[in-house]
Amino acid sequence: MTKHAAFLDRDGTLVRDPGYLARASDVALLPGAGEAIRRLNESGVRVIVVTNQSGIGRGYYSEADFKSVQAEIDRQLKTEGARIDATYFCPHDPTLHKCECRKPGLELYRRAEHEQGVQTAGSWFVGDRAHDVSPAEALGGHGLLVAGPDGTFDEPVPAGSERVEDLASAVDRILGSVTPRGRPFQVAVLVSGSGSNLQALIDRFSDPAVLPRVEICLVISSRPDNRALERAKAAGIPTAVVPDDEGSEEWMTERLEACGAQLVVLAGYMRLIPRGLVAAWSGRMLNVHPALLPAFGGKGMYGQRVHEAVLESGTQVTGVTVHLVDEEYDQGPVVAQWSVPVVEGDDADALAARVLKVEHRLLPSVVAAVAEGTCLLGPDGARWIEPLASGEDRLREIT
C-alpha cells in the first residue's frame, strides 16, 4: 500500500483556470505541470485530484462535460509521461446545497483514503486557494499554497501550510521529504570529533532489511584527523574534509548536492554553518544538542561545558534536543526532546555518559521518522504525524 499521496487542486494549480472550465478545447496545462506530475509518479507518490465543480450544480455545464475536460487533462499529461491516479469532485452549488464534499470539507479526502489505499496523515495538500490546503491541518498533512497567475497568494495562509511558487516548487518540497521507490533515503552527516552519534546512525541503518531504508551517502568532517572519519571509512561511507579557506560554503554545497542528500545531520559538528548553506537547506538540516534547549545552548556550549553548566545550575533535569539548524548556534526550531535526570553525586563525566546514551537513541529515531514521513520538516519547524516514543520512553514532541 502506498502510504502517502499528493492531493492536488485542479483549476489554477494543474491547469489554467478560465472560470468554470467546461470545454475540452479550453484545457491548458500550466507550465511545468506535466513534468511535476511525472516526477511524483516516478517517486511512488499517488497523485489524487480533489476539485470543487459547482458549475455542474449551477447548470453551467454537465457532468459529462466535466468528464470530457478530465479526459483531455489525462491525454495531455500522458503526452508528458504523467498520470493522475484518481479524481474526486464535488458537483454541488454551495448556495443551494450544504455538503461535506465541497472543499474545505473532508468527505472526498476520506473517500480517497478508503478507496485508494493511502493515508491522509502525512500526505500533501496542494492548491491555489486557502480552502484547497486547509484540510491538511485537520487530516494531519502538510499544505502547500501555490501562487495565482499574478504571483500573489490567497489569504490568509492556513495554519500548518506554507507558500510555494507553483506546482513544480510544491513537488520539489514534497520530494525533499519522500524517498523514490527502490532508493534509500539519503542522509549526509557533518562531524568534528569522535563520531559516536555517527556510529549510532550507522548501527541503526546498516541493515538493509530495517525499515525505513536510510543510507548515509557522505560524511563531511571539519578536521582531517578524528575518530569519526575512521568510523565512516570502516563502514564504507564516502568522506570529505572541509577546506580551511573562504570557499568552504561553495565546496560544501557542491558535495551535498552531488551526493543526493535529502537531509543533513550535524552529529558533533563544531563549526557554524555558513548562512548561504543554512538558507539552501532550510528545513532539511538537523543538529543534536546535549541539553534541553533553549537552556544551556549557544556559542561555546558544547561537550563537557554543557554538562558542567547543568551541574553548576543545580537543575534536576537535563536532556537531549534535536533541532533544525538556523544561522545561530542552537537557535533553530526544536524537533524533539528527551529528558534525562541529573542524579545526586553526578560529575560531568557521569552525566555526559547518561545523556549520550539518549543521544544515540533519539537522533536515529528522528532521522527514521523523517525518512518514513511520520515527522514532516519545514523551515518553521516540524509536524509529528505519529508518536516517536513508546512504552516508558517518554518523548516530549514539539510542534
Catalytic positions are 289
Quickly list H helices, 240-372: 248-258, 275-280, 304-313, 348-372
**End-to-end CA gap in the chain:** 28
Q: How far apart are CA 374 and CA 352, in angstroms?
A: 29
Instruction: Give the count of beta carbons closer than 10 Å to the beta carbon of residue 376.
Output: 22
Cβ atoms 139, 109 nearer than 8 A: yes
3-state secondary structure of 26: helix
Rg (CA), the chain: 24
Q: How far apart are CA 168 and CA 176, in angstroms?
A: 12
What type of residue sits at position 103? K
- Dihedral sign of CA atoms 289, 292, 297, 303 in order: negative
Q: How far apart are CA 336 and CA 289, in angstroms?
A: 11
Cβ atoms 124, 160 nearer than 8 A: no
Cβ atoms 271, 221 nearer than 8 A: no
Cβ atoms 35, 83 nearer than 8 A: no
Nearest to 51 by CA among 85, 18, 13: 13
Q: How far apart are CA 217 and CA 184, in angstroms?
A: 10
Q: How far apart are CA 1 and CA 119, in angstroms?
A: 10
Nearest to 176 by CA among 75, 280, 247, 255: 280
Cβ atoms 30, 8 nearer than 8 A: no
Query: What would the DSSP string read from start to end of 91-143?
Result: ---TTT---SSSTT-SHHHHHHHHHHT--STT-EEEESSHHHHTHHHHHT-EE
What type of residue sits at position 267? A
Cβ atoms 160, 41 nearer than 8 A: no
